Amino acid sequence: MQGALDGIRIIDASRVLAGPFCSMILGDLGAEVIKIEHYETGDETRGWGPPFAGGESAYYLCTNRNKQSMTLNLKSEKGKEIFHRLVASGDIVIQNFKTGTLEKLNLGYTQLKATNPRLIMASITGFGLTGPYKNLPGYDYIIQALSGLMSITGETGGSPMKVGVAIADVLAGLYTCIGILSALHHRDRTGKGQEIDISLMDCQVSALVNVAGNFLCSGINPERIGNRHPNIVPYQVFTARDGKFVVAVGNDPQFRRFTALLGKPELAGMEKFAHNDGRLRNKSELIPLIEELLKKKTKKEWKKLLDRAGIPNGPINTIAEMFEDPQIQARNMLVKMNHAKIENLKLVGSPLKLSATPVTMRDPPPLFGEQTESVLSELGYSAEEIIQFRQNNII
Q: Which residues are catalytic?
A: 169
Q: Between the CA atoms of 59, 33, 174 and 98, what dihedral angle is there, to the nearest 10 degrees? A: 80
CA nearest 110: which of 12, 194, 183, 192? 194
Query: How far apart are the C-alpha atoms of 223 and 269, rounded to whole Å?
Result: 31
**How many DSSP H helices and E strands does the chain contain?**
19, 13
CA–CA distances in Å: residue 79 to residues 18, 37, 75, 292, 392? 24, 12, 7, 68, 11
Query: How far apart are the C-alpha atoms of 115 and 113, rounded to whole Å?
Result: 5
Query: How far apart are the C-alpha atoms of 209 and 291, rounded to whole Å?
Result: 29
Strand order in the sheet with 313-315: 235-240, 243-248, 313-315
Helix pair 167-190, 18-28: axis angle to 10 deg: 50
Query: How far apart are the C-alpha atoms of 22 and 7, rounded to whole Å?
Result: 17
Bridge partners, 243 (sequence order): 240
Collapse the DSSP code of 25 into the 3-class scheme (helix H, G, I; strand E, B; otherwise coil) and give the result: helix
